[in-house]
Amino acid sequence: MSSIGLGKGPQGELADLSAAGLLRTLKPLDSPTGPRVIRDGRELWNFASNDYLGLASDPELAEAFIEGVRKYGAGSAASRLVCGTLPPHRLLEDALAAAKGTEAALVFSSGFATAVGSLPALAGKDDVLVLDKLCHASLIDGARLSGATIRVFPHNDTAKLARLLETIRAKQPAARVIVVTESVFSMDGDLCPLAEIIELKDRHGALLFLDEAHAFGVLGPHGMGLAAQLGLQHRVDFQMGTFSKAAGLSGGYLATSTAWRDLLVNRARSFVYSTAPPPALAHATIASLERIRSTDGDHRRKQLRENISILSAKHPSPIVPVLFGTNDAALAASTRLEEHGFLVPAIRYPTVPRGTARLRISLSAAHSPETIAALASEIGHR
């Protein structure tokens, strides 16, 4: 067979990734997820997952999932617009809208599907999307798919954002302009300056698309995110989030007005052309949302904050990065920690910028203070 036009082939590309310290491989667990897991026959303390409230292995949540299967079956069998909308889907969306203080909400199969479906539905070639430089890959991909003009401002730099918005409005007074950012950034664990961003988007007639993926369940009254914590939910046009982190399940959502929701139902391709999430999953997610907003959820958030303070006294989120710079150094640190019984992933380009390879520590309310103190001691001896 001729190899003309095939380039170096997959083996060559894999070799290049390996040489650069960027090769990834699947490393399955041999146990359910939780604060303690088994990999390759070894027990490890799990500081790699986003299970911030410890709900992923919660027996009551598992029972809610089983109950959903008994009531509604295993799958939805069609897209939402055909015949895949079952009672739990609507009940979940109504509960989310009430929790987020919006008129409506729409559920997607994943957070990634939410971003890559919503942004192209909301903006087109005559519009402008203004993204924080450290926005998640799903937001970047969604922006690219939209065909809109994309402008990027340095991470959390509101002065640069202000200048960009002024320039855009001067050149394109009629354009739909949407500022896109995250409330908790997934690799640094820092917060966006939300109040300042809202003031700027209002001043310049823009909209705000806020990804609360890593804040949902963690921040604010009843865990409803940074916008709720600051009392600004009513001023955020699009509140995105996921159920795959603090909620302990999977799926994504966008909370917004009824009119915008209806537009997404018609235009968001990842919604229109995807089989609906299993109704049992939606049923379990309702139970998870109730837990997050309950006194038990408050207790778990209190424990999570205490756990964060053990590792980093003033850090605002459960994501604590430890920077090493080079890929080899981060990989070596991750391997050494695993040898000592701790699962902490090395994060490298393209997930983070070149030269900023790091360990990404994810804390949970399910971790014991003693275990976190032991991890802190190991990191201190690097």
The residues assigned a catalytic role are 50, 136, 182, 186, 211, 214, 245
Distances (CA, A) of 287 to 58, 74, 189, 297, 343: 11, 17, 27, 12, 29
Contact 355, 328 (CB under 8 A): no
3-state secondary structure of 301: helix
Element (H or E) spanning 255, and its range? strand 252-256
> Please, what is the angle between helix 111-122 and helix 258-267, to 10°?
100
Buried b / exposed e along 215-225 (16+ C-beta atoms within 10 A): bbbbbbebbbb
And the tokens for 23? 């090769």
Residue 2, C-beta contacts closer than 8 angstroms, at least 6 positions apart: none
At CA 71, angle to CA 70 and CA 76, rounded to 5?
100
Is 126 within 8 Å of 175 (Cβ atoms)?
A: yes
Could you tell me whether strands 319-325 and 207-211 are parallel, antiparallel, or unpaired per DSSP bridges?
A: unpaired
Q: Do 322 and 361 contact (CB within 8 A), yes or no?
A: yes
- Give the ranges where the chain is alpha helix by DSSP (H): 9-19, 59-72, 87-100, 111-122, 137-146, 158-171, 194-203, 226-229, 258-267, 269-272, 279-292, 295-311, 327-339, 369-380
Count the Cβ atoms, other than its own, within 10 Å of residue 44.
21
Tell me, what DSSP letter sits at residue 251?
Answer: -
